[in-house]
Every structure is written in C-alpha cells, then in structure tokens.
Amino acid sequence: MNFSSKQCCSHVCHKVGIKGHHIFRSLAQTFKMLKVVLLICSLVGATNALYKQWIPDTNYENKTNWDKGKVPCGSDTVQFSSQRKVSVFVETTHAVQEMVLPMDGEIILNSGAGFYVISGQDPDCGAGVRTEFKDADSLRWFNPALWQAAATLNDLQDGHFLFSVHEESVPCQQDDVVFKPLSSFRVDTSCSQTTIPIKSVSVLGKVFDSKSEFSEYLSSQSGLLQFHGSSSVTVGNPSCGDATGCDCGNYVNHERICSTVTCGTLSCEKPLLPIGHCCEVCGAIIVIHYSDSFNLENYRGRIRHLFLSLPKYESIQLGMSKILKPQRLMGIIPFGSSPEIQVVILDGETGKLSEALAQDMIKDIKSHGSNLGIAGAEIQPTREPGSSTGTVVGAVFGVLLVVTLIVIVVVLLRKGIVQMPSMPSMPSMPSLSRFRRNTDVDDLDGAADRGFDNPIFDKPDMLNNISDLYSTDSISMTQTGVHFINPAYDENETDFTI
C-alpha cells in the first residue's frame, strides 16, 4: 500500500484499531490554493456553459452520512460496512473508541486531521453507541435533485443557484462539473451510453479538462472509489461556440432522469409541461424565436437585472435554455425539430405571479426585441392536466381534412367531373334462387315442397319403368318426404329419408 504521509498513517494506526484493507492519504495545504487558482482559471473561454456542482459527499463531518444522524464522538464505535467501497474525507481531528474499516476503501485526511482513542467515556459524548457510515452506492449521476447549477463559480460559492428543467439540471455536454473542494464522494455513472461527455471536472480542487489525464485519475484508487457504474465520464468536450446557446444533449437519458423524480401535487387548474421536464408545473412558458444576433447569456443577464431583482419577483424561479422543439405534421406525425429558446417561469404557487412576469417580458420583447436579436415570442397556452394540446388539435384538423376530401370527391363524382373506373366484367353466376328451399309447411293437406326437381322421385309413375332396382313395396311417400329401403342394408332395414 502506498501512503501519501507515513507519519500521518503511523499516527492513525497507533491510535485506532484498523481492520481490513484500507488506504490513508493526507492532503497537502496547496489544495486550498488550488481551490482558488485552478478553478478560477477554468472561467477563461467559458461560453454559454454552466457550472454543475454535485451536492452529496462522503465527508466524515457530515452528520447525514451516519445512521444515527450525528457525527461520532469519543465514546462511539465507528463502523464502515465491510462489503462496501467508500472514499471518506476527514477535515479535522476526531476521538473514537474503535474504528472498523471496509475491505476496500480510503480515508483522505486533510492537513492536521486524524483520529485518537480516549480511555473510558468521553464526558462530552455520554454513553457510547455503535454508529455506521451510510451506503452511498445508490447516489446516481442522472438524479437532478443531486445537482446545483450556477452561471459562474462565484455564484456557485455564494449559493446563487439557477433553476433548470430536469434534463438540464444534470450536467450537459458543455458544462463544467464541480465536486466540492475538501470533500470526497461516490457516484454511480451508469446509463445507456458508454460515455458521459462533459467539458471539465473538478475533484478535490483540481480541474481535469484533458481526456488522458482524467482517464488516468479514474484508474487510480481514488477514482475507482469515487466513480463507479457501467458508463465512464469523459472530459474535453468543447465549449458551446454558439452565442444563441447549445442543446444540452440529455434528451437521450430523459427516461433515466425522470425515473428518479417524484412529481408533487399541483395547486393550479391548468398545469404546463416544459420540454425537458419530468413533471407538470404551475407557471408560465415563453417560447422565443431568435435571429443570429441573439445572445443567450446577455439576455439572461437582462432578465435578471430588469425583473428578477424586483422585490415582487424575488420568489420566482426562471430557467432559460435552447431546446430542439419536435415538429409534427398536423400535430401527430413527427418530421424534425426546430431550435427555440424556452423560458420556464415558476412561482411555487398557482402560477399567477409567473404569468405576470411573462407578460412583462413579452412587453419588453415587443419594445426592444429587434435590438436583442429576438424575432418573436409568445406565451405557451395552458392545457388541462393529462391532455396534450398539440395532439388534440392535430387530431381534430386531421379528421376535418379527411372529411373535406371525402366531400370534395363526392361532389366531383355527382357533377361528372370525376368518374369511377368501370369494373371488369365477371362471368354470369347462376342464380341462387333455384337452390332456395322453403322448409315451412303451411298446409299439411297440400303437396309437400320437395325442393329441386328429381327425375326419379318427383314422378312416382316412373318407378315402374326401372326394373329390379326398387320395388314399390320398399318406397313410401308421406307429406314430409319420400322414404325407401336401401337394399344394401336390407337386413337391418335401415331407413333413409329424402
């Protein structure tokens, strides 16, 4: 095993009972400088990209990582599941009674951090308990609730986060991904694709934007413990070079993303479903049609300055991004997509405040749209829950079109402008009327209907002319038919009726 600091490792091994295979590393003080220097350098050349920060961590000092809901103290026994892989970051010094480590894992010690054992109970801790570190294997890359987005690193550090639809809450292909400095983590990157392309990744304060360098890190002990799953994260994807914005690219994982989302109950009567979102929302949606002179980042800054800074709109969540809106013939048949800017406005209530902001934005576009590179904009109409306006309207127009065509054809046929093609002549078919048989006997005293003509039995006087075949004794006629004895079964007197 290789240790970054033998002195630190020796100190821990002397103070704490260690069980199982483990790795200890200490962080150099220079990581604190990397947090400031290297991350700021990643701002250079960033265009229309966001910073997406992973929220969970596997830090020792995070009480949510422990099954007892609090950080272990000097009277506690600390346990890591022996079958789980974990990378734990320790920022300060902690007292413990005992520590049981996993078979495969690491503890990353910040400068000056460590563990020590006290004799007896810790007076500040009380009665000791056995506390276990929670499993982090279930935390998935494509869970939008586990990410925060910001336009700049300063906004990210100051907590000024952006709202996005679910697809864009997960890192897009041109985004910079940030795992918090002085922190470790574990994330499942499994998806239907073999790779997850992004622009860059920052881990423990170090920025990776080279494919080869980050691939080497993924193969390291820390990389294997922090990233796991069937897909591999790749860096070096180019920035968005289009000032009008770029498509996020997460539509291929829409179902996977939405499988992690639970939709809440809505208080509005007519919710909306934004493109790229998993749930219907109460609010407003503006669709912007733009020209080549449109700049997405400039317009986002304009909206923040003009409207979102106003006290009446302080509760508003606004997401703005380029989307590829599916085009459908008659609202049903897909035939391509068109790029548009989608603005999603939420107020967390019935949507009335969102509609007011949408109207203010439309007024601003009408006044200054030509200078902003905006060709037009409209507020998307609301729809009833569970319905699809485009599909319903398209279906109605489709039915009307079919009916119109039928009416036109009928009118043309009646006026003789269009004639139906003549059918090829068919050979005459014998009439079925001769085969009809009336099975109803109206009058038992009248002659019985014997169906078709039988030259033998319909004329009983002809029987005398056929010698030796039948005798008159073997044939009898009744009102229900003619009976005869079959000579081949004469001994059994089998009776047949015609």
User: What are the tens digits of pLDDT across the range 400-426?
Assistant: 777 788 888 777 777 777 666 665 555
List of residues 6+ apart from 109 with CB closer than 8 A: 5, 8, 12, 24, 25, 26, 27, 90
pLDDT tens per residue across span 220-241: 999 999 999 999 999 999 999 9
pLDDT of residue 422: 60
3-state secondary structure of 36: helix
484 versus 134: which is more confidently predicted? 134
Confidence of residue 123 (pLDDT cuts 50, 70, 90): confident
pLDDT of residue 13: 35
pLDDT tens per residue across span 367-385: 999 999 999 999 986 544 4
The order of strands in the sheet holding 317-329 is: 317-329, 333-346, 283-290, 374-379
Measured in whole angstroms, the distance separating CA 128 from the mean position of its chain's CA atoms is 45
State the first-to-last Cα distance of the chain, in angstroms, to the nearest integer: 105
- Architecture in CATH for domain 266-381: 2-Layer Sandwich (3.30)
Q: How far apart are CA 14 and CA 8, in angstroms?
A: 10
Beta strands in 231-330 (DSSP E): 232-234, 283-290, 317-329
* Stretch 318-341: mean pLDDT: 78
- Range in 31-40, 139-148, 278-287 the model is least confident about: 31-40
43 versus 355: which is more confidently predicted? 355
The tokens describing 373, both together, are 């590179």
3-state secondary structure of 148: strand
Element (DSSP H or E) covering residue 410 = helix 389-414
Cα dist. 351→279, 283, 341, 365 in Å? 15, 4, 20, 21
CA angle 335, 340, 345 (to 5 degrees): 125
Q: How far apart are CA 425 and CA 442, in angstroms?
A: 42
CATH 3.30.70 positions along the chain are 266-381
* pLDDT tops 60 at residue 388: no
- Range in 69-83, 148-162, 371-385, 463-477 the model is least confident about: 463-477
* Stretch 275-299: mean pLDDT: 95
* pLDDT tops 70 at residue 309: yes
Q: How many residues does the chain have?
A: 498
336 versus 259: which is more confidently predicted? 259
* Stretch 9-25: mean pLDDT: 37
DSSP class of 385: T
> With left for phi above 0 and alpha for psi between -120 and 50, is residue 381 left, alpha or beta?
beta
* pLDDT tops 50 at residue 38: no
What are the counts of helices (DSSP H) followed by strands (DSSP E) for the chain?
Answer: 10, 24
Cα dist. 48→44, 174, 179, 238, 478 in Å? 12, 8, 20, 11, 103
pLDDT of residue 124: 86
Would you say the pTM of this structure is higher than 0.75?
A: no
Placement of tokens 């574990």 in the chain: 186
